[in-house]
Structure 1
Amino acid sequence: MSVSAPEQGYEGDLTLIPKKVVVIGAGITGLTLALRLQQGLQSSAGQGSQPVLLAESSDRVGGCISSQSKDGYRWEEGPNSFTPVPALLNLIAEVGLTDQLLLADGKLPRYVYWEKELLPVPMSPAAAIGSRLLSVGGKLRALGGLLGFVAPPPGREETVRQFFQRQLGSEVVERLVVPFTSGVFAGDADQLSALAAFYRVASLEERYGSLFAGAFLRAPRSQPDPLSPQIQPVPKRGQLGNLRQGLKQLPEAIAEKLGDTLHLGWQATHLKQNEAGYWVGFKTPEGSRWVVAQRVVLTLPAYAAAALLRELNPQASQLLSGILYPPVAVVTLAYPEEALPQPLRGFGHLIPRSQGFRTLGTIWASCLFPERAPQGYHCFLNFVGGATDVAYARQKGIPPISALSPEERAQVVHEELSQILLTRPVEPIRLGERLWPQAIPQYTLGHRQRIAQLQESLANQTPGLSVCANYLDGVALGDCVRRAEAMAQEILNGWDS
């Protein structure tokens, strides 16, 4: 039907579409949320009904998931793998991708580049004793911290560096924690909150007095979610997962199940509230549309959600705008086997910024999963940039990574790999280069308080409007699925009560 637009300046003969829930953003979070809501609401409203609308501004689903292939190579330009937690595995089974599941060897060594050597990260107490990555003094200092011989908490929120340095000493921080922080979050250990970014570890001291005591005394988790019988063999500890054609298979399979619930090329431009509910204005390939719904969920990045909420909830918009996203470039290069150490076996390597390199880390993709490179070649995913890049560039008197051309970024990575990994000079095969101007949300100091204030503002000022995204409490794909399913259940329970 045609209605008068509830927004000045939004003109034309506009179509009104009534829905129970509108989900904005078709990344893995939005897709999972829409699927669970559609299943739950259809069971009460009857098959054939479409109470949910999932809108995506681009022409594809998956958000930051970006699987590519060319000339016998296959690689990821966003998330590169996942931890096989039950919620994610069960979703894979549900959408018919069990036969596409790949699990990497959990025993593949991880390396840190330190003082011109690739040194394996110790993965067990026995390996730690013999590791050359830490000195004898560094090992003793870390052991004392694990046993609780550390300074008491300072009574204020600590950064990642402050917490782990107090607990385990400066060597562990510089050689393990800092590169891990930059590798997972593209983050700065001097800015990230230990309690927000590493909650499971950082909370042990508060609850049990020390990391060692916490590891033994913490209450066992509730009964884990049952795993679909289709998942065989059951993943082992330390394994990582992917899919034969790349991670994009999962969002594409969910999208197929959603059918007409999903609308691509629908850009949300307006968000209003009145007695009828929430009005969402969209620019679509077919023209302007208004959708009115009882519930709206934004599964967008924080900066995009902030723009939509600027007028409707200024406080929430301001809080979301305070969440930082540094730029990260993913440079994918390949080399012939004869130019690499033999045999090449490993997950990849991380590089502490103190070693003077621009690359944060490299994943040895073709060592992890099959069919990632033609026979006789290896494929490497290299991550450049992050929260510390601007300071690094300023110190060196060079442009930040976002100001370089794709060719210049690829050359930086190749020159550094030549020093770290290659055994003889050879030109790289350039497969792809993707710059994410705003890559991974940063859980900086005060993050947990910001999120609590955000949720309170949404509940008080715009009830029925929610956010569900990786800036809340975990950036991994499994976290995204967990959050989406929990929110779907919360919404469905609200209608059942």
Structure 2
Amino acid sequence: MEGKRRHVVVVGGGIAGLAAAWHLRGRGEHLRVTVLDGAPRIGGKLHATEVAGVAMDAGAEAMLARRPEGKELARLAGLGEELRLPGTTKAAILSRGVLRPMPEGHVMGVPSDVLALARSGVLSPAGLARVPLDHVLPATRVTNDVSVAAYIRARMGEEVVDRLVEPLLGGVYAGRADRLSLDATMPRIAIAARSERSLLTAAREIAADAPKDAGPVFTTLSRGMGSLPEAVAAASGAEIRTGVTVRELRRTENGWLLVTGPVPAPETVEADAVIVAVPAPAASRLLAEEVPRAAAELARIEYASMAIVTLAYPREAFPRPPTGSGYLVPAVDGRPIKAATFSSVKWPHLAESDPNLVLLRCSIGRIGEEAVLQRDDAELVALAMAEMVEVMGVRGLPRDSRLTRWGGSLPQYEVGHLDRVARVRAATAEQPGLALCGAAYDGLGIPACVATARTAAARILDHLDPTGEWQDSTDSLTKG
């Protein structure tokens, strides 16, 4: 292979796959990169279209601002000047039919201040009285990974789980607190569970340690996060091929063979190395023959489906203009809407596009609630409209609406997830020239996906060029 221009194929054109292609860029005389995606467009769950003439995200609408990977990738793809900060991040909880403020100082829903919790009114008197018992209860022994609900319920009671923690986790994972891993979804709380007797004390210490001048938690792009994939693809210099589904992945003497195309007329692509950047079920199928141990573990990762209804109302439709960023809904209340975001309040640049509009998004669907998503599009839009009438007193019809379905879109980090990922990586490490990245491993957010892409690209570069002679030492993201 000496002197030959190496070929890396990235399977999957979501943000993880595109970021991996970007991290491989700049080795033109040594390396060519091809991204294959079965969908008609790149970007995966990052996609923006117009609603009432305003470009709005149909999928993820923001990324963490306090992790650098996403922002840096946006800047290096030429979108630095398009980064925007939220106007407000004040959210509410719709608990027992009333909008109530999130208690100050919480850590992913875990209260750190009983008085602030009492002022919020989220819990019932009995639920509130249960929380300070955490100070006097004996230690809850946590040696292995446990569910979020099991630990927090033992320390603070059922209502903290149902009305605070689960709505927040539901907003991120569309998951259930009694199945989600404490270690994987709330790592700082998990560390405290093994070292502190009192969860209230631990939460207060975690809240106090939070940087006071770190700025907003989230950021977005002026044309939506959906503008990021195209920019990254263009900056990567990779060949991007959509509408190409990879059906098989086989080891060869010198690398890998990818089988694409329809079953009756298969096509093949040869590669020196492969990065698999597709969801866990698809990755499992691709790895079944060559890496069966990894495939078996990936097949056990469940995914939740959801839908997002975007509505554009005339401002006068609201008796009182919304003032916060939105609200979350506890699953225990049995409502079909799990969250609502007042997009034009949260993101002032959207309001500037048309000051006479209120733009909002309603999320529908949690793991185990697939039945509601089986309703037709018109019914789901009607559910969101009815929610706005009941909760916000909206009068009249929206000027425009959009429904986006995301089937099997959110991996569930269930108990034992970190060990499962470690086993996947151990099995994959035995295969030279193969790497994995994406949302199934170390976090669902864009920065976490970009971080897995950087690691995958570094693994491939180390395999193809173990001496480091033609790796670009100026690539801070790959080397960082």
The correspondence for 1:90, drawn from 66, 72, 76, is 72
- 2:379 counterpart letter in structure 1: E
The correspondence for 1:81, drawn from 62, 80, 86, is 62
The correspondence for 1:109, drawn from 53, 77, 90, is 90
Deviation at 1:208, TM superposition (A): 5.1
Q: Where does 1:41-440 land on structure 2 (aligned, <5 Å)?
A: 42=27, 47-84=28-65, 85-105=67-87, 107-124=88-105, 125=113, 127-128=116-117, 130-135=119-124, 138-139=127-128, 141-143=130-132, 145=134, 149-153=137-141, 155-207=143-195, 210-211=198-199, 212-213=201-202, 216=205, 236-283=214-261, 289-372=267-350, 374-390=354-370, 400-423=371-394, 425-440=395-410
Tell me, which stretches of 5 or more residues in structure 1 are unaligned? 1-16, 225-233, 391-399
Quick check: 112-121 or 483-492, which moved more? 483-492
- 2:226 counterpart letter in structure 1: K
Partners of 1:259 and 1:99 in 2: how far apart? 21
User: Residues 140 and 491 of structure 1: is their aligned pair in 2 closer, same or farther, counting only changes over 3 Å?
Assistant: farther
1:191-212 CA-to-partner distances (Å, cap 9, x unmatched) read 2122222223222222455543
- 2:383 counterpart letter in structure 1: V
User: Residues 407 and 367 of structure 1: is their aligned pair in 2 closer, same or farther, counting only changes over 3 Å?
Assistant: same
Deviation at 1:88, TM superposition (A): 1.5
- In the alignment, is residue 446 of structure 1 matched against residue 435 of structure 2? no
- 1:160 counterpart letter in structure 2: V
Partner SS, residue 380 of structure 2: helix
8 A Cα contact 1:72 1:372, kept in partner: no
1:376-426 CA-to-partner distances (Å, cap 9, x unmatched) read 221111111111314xxxxxxxxx123211001111222222211225x32
8 A Cα contact 2:247 2:286, kept in partner: yes
Q: How many residues align?
A: 448
**Which residue in the other structure is 1:3 paired with?**
none
Partners of 1:347 and 1:292 in 2: how far apart? 48
**Which residue in the other structure is 2:474 paired with?**
none
Deviation at 1:60, TM superposition (A): 2.0
Partner SS, residue 260 of structure 2: strand
RMSD of aligned Cα (Å): 2.9
**Which residue in the other structure is 2:446 paired with?**
477
8 A Cα contact 1:50 1:261, kept in partner: no
TM-score of the two chains, using structure 1 as the length reference: 0.82
Partner SS, residue 362 of structure 2: strand
Partners of 2:204 and 2:96 in 1: how far apart? 32
Quick check: 121-130 or 249-258, which moved more? 121-130
Partners of 1:185 and 1:404 in 2: how far apart? 22
Deviation at 1:57, TM superposition (A): 2.2
Partner SS, residue 304 of structure 1: helix
Partner SS, residue 326 of structure 1: strand
User: Residues 239 and 455 of structure 1: is their aligned pair in 2 closer, same or farther, counting only changes over 3 Å?
Assistant: closer
User: Residues 339 and 148 of structure 1: is their aligned pair in 2 closer, same or farther, counting only changes over 3 Å?
Assistant: farther
Tell me, which stretches of 5 or more residues in structure 2 are unaligned? 106-112, 468-480
Deviation at 1:184, TM superposition (A): 1.0
Quick check: 147-156 or 182-191, which moved more? 147-156
User: Residues 305 and 338 of structure 1: is their aligned pair in 2 closer, same or farther, counting only changes over 3 Å?
Assistant: same
TM-score of the two chains, using structure 2 as the length reference: 0.85
Partner SS, residue 311 of structure 2: strand
